[in-house]
Structure 1
Amino acid sequence: MTHAATNGTRGAHFPADEPVAPGAEAHLRALTRLRADRFRHAPDPASAATCAALGGPGEADPALRSWDAGAWAGRPLDVVAAEDSEGVAAWLADPAAAPHGGESLHDLLDRVRGVLAAVGGGHTVAVCGPAVVRAAVVLVLGAPATAFWRVDAGPLTVTDLRGGPDRWTVRATGAPQTRG
């Protein structure tokens, strides 16, 4: 599941570790608590808060961290594109490119592949940033890396993956269940 909205997700900024945006706390309070064998979350504050609202607190897992955007972290996409149009174009066109000095799309996919391979038996709820969820969907579908740009995962999107290492399926993706 993607974490609740942050100022960065609301403003189309590159990922940065930040708390839930003002006003988004009400969405967390409305979430239905889940039962699971284990809760895991990315180490950022928004993921931890979202996990707790679902029934965590869960365990912080560094492998679920946001996509490392290097020098672009926390900056608005449109500002970066205006300052470094060639870098952004390369980043969007080439899954191996990392003009920001962080992770390439291939690096992100490899990291998420490891996360999927390490999931044990039972029901795990994992809360993280949208790029990690998008990468998981691309991997489960066996789609090419460039399909990443065709997957959306807004704040609080639930993506239900079933199965286990080497046999995952996407069961559903959409809005979470809320109370009242």
Structure 2
Amino acid sequence: MTVRVTLLSPAMSSAVREARFDDDASLDASGLAAARSAAGTLPSPGTALSSPSARCRQTAAALGLTAAPHEALRGCAMGSWRGLRLDEVAAERPEQVAAWLADPAAAPHGGESLQQLGGRVGGWLDGLAAESGRVVAVVEPDVVRAAVVHALDLPAPVFWRLDVPPLAFTVITGRAGRWNLRLGAATAGG
């Protein structure tokens, strides 16, 4: 069976604007307006899901989706770094940030490693193998990165080379063991 998974990153929030490790901040006014203006550009989903974060749930609602929050789609648990800006952490704990960036198994913040994030997201994606049709999920950018790395069986360091701007569509089609990344679609359903 083949499934089409459209991953949509959430609209702008203060955490993104300030390069802050997510603290479950809500969308800001410009993010909410952008999400509302994107309503109607998504394909009709058979299943609509979201990360449990406020900004993902708010983005989904602004898009007109009745999306169920799904725990496997939550962003990486950042432990003691939650709510801090990356530049603050890098200035105070440069060795920890270097270890986190260099080693996918490292979790110097006491939260979840990128390897654990990838395993969780990859397990969710492969669990869709028994389904067919369309899944639309509004998820954190790190979840999009982890899904792409897993789907294409890329080396873990590629995670850091993937940019996921607000309200970006990423379409993965296929089934467990054979995923394709669809590039260049004008809209998520295009």
What TM-score range do you get, normalising by the shorter chain?
A: over 0.9
Q: Which runs of 4+ in 1 moved over 3 A?
A: 173-177
RMSD: 1.6
The 3 A distance-change label for structure 1 pair 174 and 83 is farther
Residue 97 of structure 1 corresponds to: 106
Residue 150 of structure 1 corresponds to: 161
Residue 54 of structure 1 corresponds to: 63
Match of 2:124, SS state, is helix
AA at the equivalent of 1:124:
V
Which structure carries more relative contact order (alpha carbon 8 Å, separation 6+)? 2
1:174 offset after TM fit, Å?
A: 7.7
Which aligned pairs between 1:105-116 and structure 2 lie closer than 5 A? 105-116=114-125
In structure 2, what is the Cα distance between the partners aligned to 1:17 and 1:173? 31
Q: What fraction of aligned residue pairs are identical, expressed as a percent?
A: 44
Q: Normalising to structure 1: TM-score of the pair?
A: 0.93
The 3 A distance-change label for structure 1 pair 52 and 108 is same
Q: Normalising to structure 2: TM-score of the pair?
A: 0.88
In structure 2, what is the Cα distance between the partners aligned to 1:129 and 1:173? 21
Deviation by residue 1:13-72 (Cα, 9 ceiling, x = unmatched): 112212112321110111132311010001111111111233312111011111111100
Q: Which ranges of structure 1 fall in alignment gaps of 5 or more residues?
A: none
1:66 is aligned, of 75, 97, 103, to: 75
AA at the equivalent of 2:25:
E
Which aligned pairs between 1:1-180 and structure 2 lie closer than 5 A? 1-33=8-40, 34=42, 35-119=44-128, 120-172=131-183
In structure 2, what is the Cα distance between the partners aligned to 1:78 and 1:173? 33
Q: Which ranges of structure 2 fall in alignment gaps of 5 or more residues?
A: 1-7
Does the 8 A contact of 2:10 with 2:166 survive in 1? yes
Does the 8 A contact of 1:157 with 1:174 survive in 2? no
